[in-house]
Amino acid sequence: MKWTEILRAPVIPADAKRTKQITFQTTENYLILDVWRGENNTCRHAINLKTWEYGTYFPDTGIKQATNINSCTDNYERNYWDYRLKEKEWLTPEQIKELDILTREKKDWVKDVLQRIERMEKDYNAEKRQQARNSKEERIRRLMSKCPNPGKAVYDWITEQMVGDLQYAFYDKQKKTCHCTACGGDFQEEAAGVPVKHRKQITCPLCGHLLTVDKKADIISVTDWLTMIHNVDEKQGVERHFKVTVEWDRTGTRTTDLDEHIRLMMLRNTKDIMKIYYYGSLYWAGWSTGNNSNRRWHSAYLYPDTEGIQAGLHGTAYEAWTDVFPKLAQMGIKAHYNGLMVESNKEFTGIAEYMAKGRFYRLLNELSLCITYWGGYSGSTIDVSGENAEEILQIEDKQLINRLRQADGGMCMLRWLQWSDINNRKLSEQYLSWAEKNKIEPDNYLRSEAGKYLTPEQLMNYINRQKKESYPSRTIAGVWDQYEDYLSMAKELGKHMDDAMVYRPRELKRRHDEVNAEMELRREEIQRKRDAREAERQAQEMREKYPGYEDILSEISAKFEYQNDSYCILVPKNFMEITAEGMALHHCVGNTERYFDRIVSRETYICFLRQQSSPDKPFYTIEVEPGGTIRQHRGAYDEEPGIEEIKPFLREWQKVIRKRMSKQDHEFAAQSEILRQKNIEELKAKNNTVVLKGLAEDLMEVI
């Protein structure tokens, strides 16, 4: 923007009668619009009519910035549903015609001139963004092209280092022959001298090579990871991460594919120390700074190009690894090299070199996996400030250090050996291997209930036996969880935990199920006590809220209770019995207080209908008026199973009630009928057809 030209143009005043207005003029290169609020010139908006570049000058502050026409005006005051800028609000008809001529060649299909300007400014921004994207992609392409494809030497090294002696025997079921991928020959199954089984190893009788048998696949694929470090130019070196796939087919043909995932550019002489680029998948092909395919760094081999590694690291933030990485690469050590680079200090590089030379290969790899990008290594297993093996590994007994080396143990084994050293407790090779394989840490053992009763060796033997005898489908960790669960429940039940029969049962699964059943009974008993206390509390509240309702129920029991050979009618004694009935049948009796209102007012009573075959089992709940008229009869979930078979008994019961009624009962019955009719009229007024229909279906008036 040529602001000198823009600001040199005189301000064209606005009509003082208008609350808001835009005045405009043209210069050699620009269309200049002055935005007015009354007599206040809020801003000057300029547009290059050739490129459509735009900018805004704010006279109050002297700020110049790329504010579009939409923001210069009152877009924030517009209606949500009609947010478009409108020319008639800001321009006179004469201005609209003139401005239309100036902008027509730009999007003449947009009739409103201000909306036309707004659209063109959006298009300009979109074009700028696209140009920026294109420029960025081109810069990335040029930079990425500086990294050559791996040559034959790399593929030969992969064959030697990563494939090595790995060869297969493809089995032909029809011919009963094996095809050797090492020599390419075929031989009869009997010639192997041993049974040819899937995934087992045999020796090729033709070339003597050790082969792994595959009886199922047509193609065998092996994957691993490779890291390469080399120089790019004077500004940067690069760390490259490849997925390596080696495939054999039934003809013995082997192919090696390198799929590059990540490139880390190690920058020199800039405030940024690095920049990462990711290669996209099929749908996002190409290099970019966005990780659309969720690429990750892995433990990998480092290609042993000493000069390339040193040249790539030289002058970067990772230069501390210049001497160590080539040594690790030459030794064929697999590690998370990108993780190691985070700890770029002499102290840590010395630790890595010591572990490599000390043949602690697995430990080095797992240590590299423990380094985080935001905090480096912050663990306590390794003392990175240690000056010798004992201090670094935090073990005083050198024999234990040798055991770690000979077993090529990792972090888990190291922590167990540290525990052994501190507690002066011996651990067998079998236990250390078992613990590492199943990821059982000393902390798991120390925090467990099992650790209180069994030594680590005893625990291993016990868990292995229980897995074999009782839990063949569970993992070792899963069996341990069951054991911990059993011990916890046994302790809570007050078992004698010092008794070996308790803390180390012969049949864990059976004893676990038994104590679980005991715990369930205990929980049910506790819950019953809680429920009883809660029910009694609620019952007391109902007595206070509805005084006398229990006396009424007791009074009517002699009049309303009745039975024949098939059914019986019972009257509840208190709130708890009514609540239990509602819970058992899953309806609203007991959960709503309107029934208690009706009881104390003598409008209706609650009775229970039971079958004589099971008189203690809830069957139907009956709401009945003092005169015997039945308002509602509901079974489980408000359903009415077998109601037509029950109705003759209910009619019989109604006749008995009529004979037992006193003069006062007749008065209560008359009042109840009036209240029932009033309730029906109210429901009709509310058009509550659902409730009306239910009441009509249930209602059984006394005949």
- Report pLDDT digits (tens) over 450-479: 999 999 999 999 999 999 999 999 999 999
pLDDT level of residue 702 (50, 70, 90 thresholds): confident
Closest among 169, 209, 164 to 186, alpha carbons compared? 169
Q: Give me 531's structure tokens.
A: 């429920």
Q: How many CB atoms lie within 10 A of CB 125?
A: 14
Q: What is the mean pLDDT of residues 26-54?
A: 92
Higher pLDDT, 237 or 80: 237
Angstrom distance (rounded) from CA 671 to CA 665: 10
Q: 404-422 burial, b for 16+ CB within 10 Å, e for fewer?
A: bbeeebbbbbbbbbbbbbe
pLDDT level of residue 36 (50, 70, 90 thresholds): very high
pLDDT above 90: residue 679: no
pLDDT level of residue 4 (50, 70, 90 thresholds): very high
pLDDT above 80: residue 703: no
Task: Please report the pLDDT score of residue 80 as a whole number.
Answer: 43
CB distance 261 to 295 below 8 Å:
yes
This prediction has a pTM of 0.67
Lowest mean pLDDT among 203-217, 283-297, 328-342, 552-566: 283-297
Angstrom distance (rounded) from CA 42 to CA 220: 73
Instruction: Note the pLDDT tens digit of each residue in 583-635.
Output: 788 887 876 788 888 999 999 999 999 999 999 899 999 999 999 999 999 88
**Distance between start and end Cα atoms, the chain:** 100
Length of the chain: 703
pLDDT level of residue 141 (50, 70, 90 thresholds): very high
Strands 274-279, 254-267: pairing is: antiparallel
CB distance 309 to 297 below 8 Å:
no
Angstrom distance (rounded) from CA 215 to CA 694: 71
CB distance 228 to 252 below 8 Å:
no
pLDDT level of residue 533 (50, 70, 90 thresholds): confident
Q: Give me 170's structure tokens.
A: 């493809």
Q: Give me 115's structure tokens.
A: 């909306």
Q: Is 689 in a helix, a strand, or coil?
A: helix
Q: 66-97 burial, b for 16+ CB within 10 Å, e for fewer?
A: ebbbbebbeeeeeeeeeeebebeebbeeebbe
pLDDT above 50: residue 79: no
Angstrom distance (rounded) from CA 22 to CA 36: 6
What Cα–Cα distance (Å) separates residue 167 from each residue in 198, 206, 568, 579?
14, 14, 85, 76
Q: Kind and range of the H or E element at 610?
A: strand 605-611
Angstrom distance (rounded) from CA 430 to CA 488: 28
pLDDT above 90: residue 89: no
Parse the chain into domains and list their residue ranges.
3-129, 152-369, 380-447, 456-545, 546-698
One-letter amino acid of 548: G
Residue with tokens 């509240």: 541
Task: Please report the pLDDT score of residue 74 as a whole number.
Answer: 66
What Cα–Cα distance (Å) separates residue 436 from each residue in 409, 416, 417?
8, 9, 11
If 0-12 CB within 10 Å is exposed, 13-18 middle and 19+ buried, where does residue 389 land? middle
Q: Kind and range of the H or E element at 696?
A: helix 689-698
Q: Is the dihedral of CA 208, 211, 215, 217 positive or negative?
A: negative
Q: Kind and range of the H or E element at 611?
A: strand 605-611
pLDDT above 80: residue 485: yes
Angstrom distance (rounded) from CA 702 to CA 655: 8
